[in-house]
């Protein structure tokens, strides 16, 4: 099936587009009343993820409201550790937790690599369902957490502020952590390739916690494993290239190293100026980002001003996918997200000369 709107894929491959494409991280989520209603039907978050029809419904909800240029699979970054048998659960107001954190080499050795079509088959069912229901309107993005980010949750047992357990493992028993990260990289390659075969037309790796590492340790414990994944991915499927985006939150100081992995695009958070980022790596990769999600609390005129500033920073030509610098906040007024999306399309026309 031909894509009616492929500007997101074209921008990732630095091909010409008529306007700058835009989507939002966490665009299917709690800021939308229709999402909250569907989650109420599902009962809880993981039940929503594991029901292909409901996961498809919430994936499509933001596309009904906004002229977004991509859909992103509704799922969670912790599906792989969950499928490894660690007992994922969610406590209200406290985020994800694991009943059985990884705390020894024997625990690492015992971890299975999940079969994407078996233990993670519900994700592939969701991908197939969403692709069918999109009817070629926009591309579908698949995703995974990075090995380092997955490992932080697995070793800490949930969210963390100081990351003492994972860093203790990194510095006191580095061989054990490398064994875990290597196993996770293998699992992510299988998982993302299965998403591509099921219908994902682009994939993204979220390295949420790479920015808590020193420059040396980032390359050692995070980046080398993302590069291993990039090298193991299917890069062409159904006659189309499958672009890969890497996003490290607080990773602005390492853009050149990220761009050198062989990925097609680098995601930017809001702590770096996009003009600087483009000057550093823009001839090598596309850039995704990078408005502060909190800007969506601002009046419409201020949102438009910020969009204009970021567009001007990137300048003319393709290779820019507009996004927030991280996920949309749950209490943002939905109409403000609409102002954002409309402003990107309207104001970016001047930067794409045909």
- Please give the tally of structural domains in the chain: 1
What does the block give as tokens for 242? 């499958």
153 an active-site residue? yes
The answer as to whether 15 is a domain residue is no
Domain-located, residue 328: no
Full residue range of the structural domain in which residue 184 is found: 44-65+70-250
Q: Are 124 and 195 in contact (CB under 8 A)?
A: yes
Q: Which of these is catalytic: 39, 128, 235, 280?
A: 39
Q: Judge whether 113 lies within some domain.
A: yes
Please state the pTM of the whole predicted model: 0.97
DSSP state letter for 322: B
Q: Are 245 and 12 in contact (CB under 8 A)?
A: yes
End-to-end CA distance of the chain: 26
Strand 88-91, strand 95-98: pairing: antiparallel
Among residues 153, 191, 218, 225, the one annotated as catalytic is 153
At 354, is the pLDDT very low, low, confident or very high (cuts 50, 70, 90)? low
CATH code where residue 127 lies: 3.20.20.210
- The answer as to whether 75 is a domain residue is yes
Q: What is the pLDDT of residues 141-199, one digit of tens each?
A: 999 999 999 999 999 999 999 999 999 999 999 999 999 999 999 999 999 999 999 99
**30 is a catalytic site residue:** yes
pLDDT, average across residues 110-116: 98
Query: In this structure, is residue 350 part of a structural domain?
Result: no
- Residue list, annotated binding site for substrate: 26-30, 76, 153, 208, 326
Catalytic annotation on 76? yes
- In angstroms, rounded to a whole number, what is the distance separating the alpha carbons of residues 21 and 73? 18
Which segments are annotated as binding site? Answer: 26-30, 76, 153, 208, 326
At 147, is the secondary structure helix, strand, or coil? helix
- Catalytic, out of 26, 65, 100, 280: 26
- pLDDT confidence of 2, banded at 50, 70, 90? confident
Residue 81 falls within a domain, yes or no?
Answer: yes
Among candidate residues 76, 207, 264, 269, the one labeled active-site is 76
In the residue annotation, 39 being an active-site residue is answered as yes
Does residue 353 surpass a pLDDT of 90? no
Q: Is the peptide bond before 290 cis (omega within 30 degrees of 0)?
A: yes
């Amino acid at each position: 099936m031909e894509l009616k709107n492929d500007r997101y894929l074209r921008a990732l491959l630095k091909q010409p587009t008529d306007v700058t494409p835009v989507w939002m991280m966490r665009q299917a989520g709690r800021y939308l009343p229709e999402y909250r209603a569907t989650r109420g039907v599902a009962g809880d978050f993981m039940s929503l993820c594991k029901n292909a029809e409901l996961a498809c419904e919430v994936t499509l909800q933001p596309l009904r409201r906004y002229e977004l240029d991509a859909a992103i699979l509704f799922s969670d970054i912790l599906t792989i550790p969950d499928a490894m048998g660690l007992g994922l659960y969610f406590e209200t107001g406290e985020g994800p937790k694991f009943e059985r954190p990884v705390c020894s080499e024997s625990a690492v050795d015992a971890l299975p690599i999940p079969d994407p079509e078996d233990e993670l088959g519900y994700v592939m069912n969701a991908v197939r369902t969403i692709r069918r229901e999109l009817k070629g309107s926009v591309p579908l993005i698949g995703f995974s957490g990075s090995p380092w980010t997955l490992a932080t949750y697995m070793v800490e047992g949930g969210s963390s502020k100081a990351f003492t357990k994972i860093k203790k493992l990194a510095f006191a028993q580095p061989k054990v952590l490398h064994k875990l990260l290597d196993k996770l990289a293998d699992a992510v390659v299988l998982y993302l390739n299965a998403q591509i075969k099921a219908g994902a037309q682009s994939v993204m790796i979220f390295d949420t916690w790479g920015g808590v590492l020193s420059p040396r340790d980032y390359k050692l414990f995070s980046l080398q494993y993302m590069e291993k994944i990039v090298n193991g991915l299917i890069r062409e499927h159904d006659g189309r290239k499958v672009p890969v985006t890497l996003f490290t939150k607080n990773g602005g100081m390492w853009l050149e190293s990220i761009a050198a992995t062989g990925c097609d695009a680098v995601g930017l958070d809001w702590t770096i100026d996009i003009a600087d980022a483009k000057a550093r790596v823009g001839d090598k990769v596309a850039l995704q980002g990078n408005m502060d999600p909190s800007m969506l609390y601002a009046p419409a005129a201020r949102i438009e001003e910020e969009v204009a500033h970021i567009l001007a920073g990137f300048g003319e030509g393709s290779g820019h996918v507009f996004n927030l610098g991280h996920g949309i906040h749950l209490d943002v007024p939905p109409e403000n997200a609409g102002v954002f999306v409309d402003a990107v399309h309207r104001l970016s026309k001047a930067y794409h000369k045909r």
